[in-house]
């Protein structure tokens, strides 16, 4: 059997039938090179938003099972149309829905996780010479109900299939040309990176660039090289793989440097004030949030004030309403002083391997932000990242000034 390449095309690459035909031609070119192609597609353009909007005209709180079956139709439309386009240009091709492609998930509607992939339906089609087009973002659970994978779902489908098929590469085609040293919309001087490590990308993904961390983690676990490029140009993209940028460039002495600025928006910060201290307090707060499927982002707890403590955390702004409800309930239960809510927050991060070993980076970052009159709301760090929570309105100025301060321009 020939080499297998898994490709993924995002919704902006499939916004109308002309774009779909263009994607079919790209797939066909790859196939002409003598490799077996499996292409995972997202829903066309804004289809998912349109379907969500239909549901919201009927109910504020749609049943997640029903919503998943509804949303799964978007990718069915794009995968059948892409298949027809390939057939129209003479390429043998077949579409498979998520469940037809053997993608089995748990039952967490709207954010399901892939449990297993039975590769035989895909392999059977590849073996008879078909290009296989797969509906991304979806799978089936043990009860034969359709599930969707939530954010980054189609990328995750592509990487998971690449891992299961032991494919040579997973190519993610999107509307940008690769991974940049910062968001080009905020920082005009941002540069495209030719290589980046999974670890660096993971921080980028969590804090700015376009791939969801789950797909990067999956690729890292199964060592699937990911190539991110534009579906609209032939320009070289960015390869995400095990070796770090610095090692690839053979510039060991520059290892400890900031390689990129990551930005992301849409956070709400909650502070539960003057909570009487007790053992198991954090669990009492975060367990009810978890039960509502609210994913807590950053947590800061300062228990030094004696008998009471303040507890701060951030959530995605989409979860603001649900979180508020849980906290109002907890405030009474835990006899807390109050709940403070700050919304319209964003994050800016500096990313680079080995940062923790050098002390100067944090200082440069905080000074740069201060010099630009930007208040820092919360600070968190990891091995290769320092993140500041700031006002959404300050995000562009923060990204630009940090990009310049760390000599990435």
Binding site for a second copy (CB under 8 A): 17, 20-21, 51, 54-55, 57-59, 62-63, 65-67, 69-70, 72-73, 76-77, 79-81, 83-85, 87-88, 94-95, 97, 100, 144-146
Q: Which two tokens stand for residue 63?
A: 């049943």
Shortest distance, CB of residue 74 to a second copy, whole angstroms?
8
Token pair recorded at residue 7 = 């490709």
Element (H, E) at 8: strand 4-9
CA atoms within 13 A on the CB side of 242: 5
C-beta of 113: minimal distance to a second copy in Å? 21
- Cβ proximity to a second copy: between 55 and 364 the closer is 55
Q: Nearer to a second copy by C-beta: 17 or 249?
A: 17
Number of H-type helices and E-type strands within the chain: 12, 20
Closer CB to a second copy, residue 61 or residue 279? 61
Asked if 170 and 8 count as a contact pair (C-beta separation under 8 A), the reply is: yes
Instruction: Write down the least CB distance from residue 156 to a second copy, Å.
Output: 22
- Helix H segments across 144-184? 153-164
Cβ closest to a second copy, residue 55 vs residue 282: 55
In terms of residues, how long is the chain? 409
What Cα–Cα distance (Å) separates residue 288 from each residue in 60, 101, 225, 277?
Answer: 22, 36, 38, 18
**Shortest distance (Å) from residue 165 CB to a second copy:** 19
Q: How far is the CB of 349 from a second copy (least distance, A)?
A: 39
State which residue, 112 or 226, has the beta carbon closest to a second copy. 112
DSSP string, 292-325: TT--EEEEEEE--STTEEEEEEEEEGGGHHHHHH
- By C-beta, is 144 or 252 nearer to a second copy? 144
């Amino acid at each position: 059997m020939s080499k297998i390449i898994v490709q993924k095309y995002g919704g902006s690459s499939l916004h109308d039938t002309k774009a779909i035909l263009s994607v079919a031609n790209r797939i066909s070119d790859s196939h002409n090179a003598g490799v077996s192609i499996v292409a995972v597609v997202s829903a066309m353009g804004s289809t998912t938003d349109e379907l969500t909007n239909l549901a919201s005209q009927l109910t504020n709180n749609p049943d997640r099972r029903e919503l998943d079956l509804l949303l799964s139709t978007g990718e069915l439309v794009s995968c059948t149309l892409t298949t027809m386009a390939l057939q129209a240009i003479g390429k043998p091709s077949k579409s498979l829905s998520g469940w037809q492609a053997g993608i089995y998930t748990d039952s967490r509607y709207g954010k399901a996780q892939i449990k297993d992939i039975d590769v035989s339906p895909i392999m059977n089609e590849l073996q008879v010479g078909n290009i296989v087009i797969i509906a991304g973002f979806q799978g089936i659970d043990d009860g034969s109900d359709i599930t969707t994978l939530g954010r980054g779902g189609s990328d995750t489908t592509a990487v998971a299939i690449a891992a299961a098929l032991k494919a040579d590469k997973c190519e993610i085609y999107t509307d940008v040309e690769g991974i940049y040293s910062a968001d080009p919309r905020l920082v005009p001087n941002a540069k495209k990176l030719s290589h980046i490590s999974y670890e660096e990308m993971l921080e980028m993904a969590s804090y700015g660039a376009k791939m969801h961390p789950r797909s990067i983690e999956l690729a890292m676990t199964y060592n699937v090289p990911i190539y991110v490029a534009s579906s609209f140009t032939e320009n070289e993209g960015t390869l995400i793989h095990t070796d770090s940028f610095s090692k690839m460039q053979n510039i060991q002495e520059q290892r400890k440097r900031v390689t990129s600025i990551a930005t992301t928006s849409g956070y709400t910060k909650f502070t539960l004030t003057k909570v009487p201290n007790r053992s198991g307090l954090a669990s009492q707060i975060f367990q009810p949030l978890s039960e509502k499927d609210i994913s807590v982002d950053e947590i800061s707890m300062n228990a030094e004030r004696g008998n009471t403590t303040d507890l701060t955390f951030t959530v995605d702004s989409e979860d603001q309403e649900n979180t508020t409800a849980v906290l109002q309930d907890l405030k009474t239960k835990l006899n807390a002083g109050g709940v403070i809510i700050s919304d319209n927050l964003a994050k800016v991060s500096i990313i680079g391997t080995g940062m923790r070993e050098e002390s100067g980076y944090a200082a440069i970052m905080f000074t740069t932000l201060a010099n630009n009159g930007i208040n820092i709301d919360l600070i968190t760090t990891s091995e290769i990242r320092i993140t500041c929570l700031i006002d959404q309105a300050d995000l562009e100025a923060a990204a630009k000034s940090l990009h310049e301060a760390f000599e990435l321009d």
